[in-house]
């Protein structure tokens, strides 16, 4: 008997009255919430809107669960379709059996649909949620502990996992807690991605690719420790080959993407950027209105101060003096304003009268000149006619 070990739960189901709460499903649900929470914080920090990550997760999570289950059922089909097995068990997700490769692949399809509906680039969204996915995996792996499944080889280490179940060919004993190894590894991956993203400003899907590469490196190592049945290709478990291939693809993407599209996206959510721009214009307009209101209020300030002073200190000699002074100031200001208004009105009247007088004089002068000219012309004409008549009389 081992002196120190990790005990396994006696059963993986807790009952809340008639409602069964399965440890495996509970871990997945908690992992999803933590992943969405962290993804939302990172998305908002990059300039996105609050709630966008959750809205897209409504598409990504169901697709991911279906993809994870499909991958598991396809790669371990003998557990459900071989002789003596019931194919209906393939739908019992709560009993365990989700393949991360299928979950990520089909979950990406769901995320793409959600991003397309919001006008968001999928790589930008993937970068924001990458550490959250790693943390979700770290929590979800504890579901294997509740189900007493997917453990490693036998060991006498003090942190060995004590398996007590003998269901489905399990042999009670002490084994490597591979669920714990992968959980801790995923936490390390999340921290690595967060640090690298801050340090190198990863963008255009490179933060997500780093998460994929780092996870695959650990998964290939941990997968070799497991003793559960699996398909082998050239002496290696299928999931080891998958991890190695995906690792190479992720690293290649990081290198190529860094050369073609360096840096990080300036705008991750166009709708949020438009709102910020319109909000800035609205704020400028509001400031202008405040300035105008302030100028209007400043004219009434002396009078208001006088009224406030009179109200605040009734019956007190000093208060009355202050109020009186303030009131006098207000009266002086008001008198000055009236004098200015009167002077302006007077100037306007004078200007109007002057214009009218000038116009009248001009009309009279024009009329006089016209009359004189007409009279002169008439006199000259009459004189000429008279002279001509006289000359004619003399000749006759």
DSSP result, 226-281: B-S---EETTEEHHHHHHHHHHHHHHHHHHHHHHHS-S--S-S-HHHHHHHHHHHH
What is the pLDDT at residue 385?
45
Render pLDDT for 40-49 as a digit per residue (tens, 0 to 9).
999 999 999 9
Q: Which residue has the higher pLDDT, 189 or 293?
A: 189
245-255 in b/e form (b: 16+ CB < 10 A) is: ebbeebbebbe
Question: In 3-state terms, what secondary structure has residue 173?
Answer: strand
Render pLDDT for 338-349 as a digit per residue (tens, 0 to 9).
556 555 655 654
The pLDDT mean for the chain works out to 80
CA distances from 133 to 36, 108, 190, 231, 328 (A): 8, 12, 8, 26, 73
Mean pLDDT confidence for 50-67: 97
Q: Give CA–CA dist 242/72, Å, rounded.
A: 13
Report which of 59, 56, 79 is spatially closest to residue 69, judged by C-alpha positions.
Answer: 79
Sequence-distant (≥ 6) Cβ neighbours of residue 47 within 8 angstroms: 267, 268, 269, 272, 273
Confidence category of residue 296, pLDDT binned at 50, 70, 90: low
What is the pLDDT at residue 260?
95
Helices 122-140 and 206-223: crossing angle in degrees, nearest 10, is 30
What is the pLDDT at residue 14?
81
What is the pLDDT at residue 57?
98
Give the residue extent of every domain in the chain: 13-268, 278-388
Q: Which residue has the higher pLDDT, 351 or 319?
A: 351
Mean pLDDT confidence for 103-112: 97
Contact 204, 264 (CB under 8 A): yes
Long-range contacts of 313-320 (CB under 8 A, 24+ apart): none
Per the confidence metrics, is the pTM higher than 0.75?
A: no
What is the pLDDT at residue 129?
98
Render pLDDT for 362-393 as a digit per residue (tens, 0 to 9).
555 355 535 554 555 455 545 554 544 444 44
Report which of 303, 273, 284 is spatially closest to residue 119, judged by C-alpha positions.
Answer: 273
Kindly report the backbone phi and psi dihedral angles of residue 33, in degrees, each rounded to the nearest multiple of 5, phi listed first. Answer: -65, -45
Confidence category of residue 170, pLDDT binned at 50, 70, 90: confident
Render pLDDT for 201-240 as a digit per residue (tens, 0 to 9).
999 999 999 999 999 999 999 999 999 888 899 999 999 9
Mean pLDDT confidence for 192-201: 97
Q: Give CA–CA dist 261/98, Å, rounded.
A: 34
Residue 270 scores a pLDDT above 70: yes
Question: In 3-state terms, what secondary structure has residue 163?
Answer: strand
What is the pLDDT at residue 85?
86
122-126, 150-154, 266-270, 369-373: which has the minimum mean pLDDT?
369-373
Render pLDDT for 133-144 as a digit per residue (tens, 0 to 9).
999 999 999 999
Of the chain, the percentage scoring pLDDT greater than 90 comes to 53
Q: Which residue has the higher pLDDT, 344 or 27?
A: 27
Residue 65 scores a pLDDT above 90: yes
5-9, 165-169, 201-205, 322-326: which has the minimum mean pLDDT?
322-326
Of the chain, the percentage scoring pLDDT greater than 70 comes to 69
What is the pLDDT at residue 12?
83
Spell out the SS3 assignment of 18-54: CEEEEHHHHHHHHHHHHHHHHHHHHHHHCCCCCCHHH
What is the pLDDT at residue 229?
85
Chain position carrying tokens 């993986």: 12
The four Cα atoms 95, 216, 151, 28 give a dihedral, to 10 degrees, of: -30
Residue 21 scores a pLDDT above 60: yes
Residue 191 scores a pLDDT above 80: yes
What is the pLDDT at residue 329?
56
């Amino acid at each position: 008997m081992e002196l120190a070990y990790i005990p396994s739960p006696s059963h993986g189901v807790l009952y809340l009255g008639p409602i069964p709460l399965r440890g495996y499903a509970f871990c997945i649900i908690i992992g999803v919430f933590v992943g969405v929470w962290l993804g939302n914080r990172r998305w908002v920090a990059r300039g996105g809107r609050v709630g966008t990550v959750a809205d897209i997760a409504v598409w990504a999570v169901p697709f991911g669960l279906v993809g994870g289950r499909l991958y598991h059922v396809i790669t371990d089909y003998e557990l459900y379709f071989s002789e003596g097995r019931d194919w209906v068990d393939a739908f019992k997700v709560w009993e365990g059996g989700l393949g991360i490769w299928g979950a990520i692949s089909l979950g990406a399809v769901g995320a793409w649909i959600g991003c397309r509906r919001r006008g968001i680039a999928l790589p930008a969204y993937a970068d924001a949620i990458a550490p959250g996915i790693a943390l979700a995996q770290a929590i979800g792996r504890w579901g294997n502990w509740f189900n007493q499944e997917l453990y490693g080889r036998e060991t006498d280490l003090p942190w060995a996992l004590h398996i007590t179940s003998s269901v489905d060919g399990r042999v009670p004993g002490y084994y490597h807690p591979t669920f714990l190894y992968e959980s801790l590894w995923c936490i390390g991956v999340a921290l690595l991605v967060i640090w690298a993203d801050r340090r190198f400003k990863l963008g255009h899907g490179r933060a997500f690719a780093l998460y994929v590469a780092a996870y695959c490196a650990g998964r290939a190592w941990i997968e070799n420790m497991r003793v559960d049945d699996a398909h082998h290709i050239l002496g290696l478990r299928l999931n080891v080959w998958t991890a190695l291939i995906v690792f190479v693809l992720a690293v290649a993407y990081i290198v190529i993407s860094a050369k073609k599209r360096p840096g990080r996206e300036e705008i991750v959510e166009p709708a949020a950027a438009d709102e910020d721009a319109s909000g800035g214009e609205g704020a400028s307009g509001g400031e202008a209105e405040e300035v105008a209101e302030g100028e209007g209020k400043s004219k009434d300030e002396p009078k208001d101060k006088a009224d406030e002073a009179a109200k605040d200190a009734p019956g007190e000699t000093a208060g009355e003096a202050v109020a009186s002074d303030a009131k006098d100031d207000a009266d002086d200001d008001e008198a000055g304003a009236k004098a200015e208004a009167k002077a302006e009105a007077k100037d306007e009247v004078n200007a109007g009268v002057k214009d009218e007088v000038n116009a009248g004089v001009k009309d009279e002068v024009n009329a006089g000149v016209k009359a004189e000219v007409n009279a002169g012309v008439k006199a000259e004409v009459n004189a000429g006619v008279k002279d001509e008549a006289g000359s004619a009389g003399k000749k006759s």
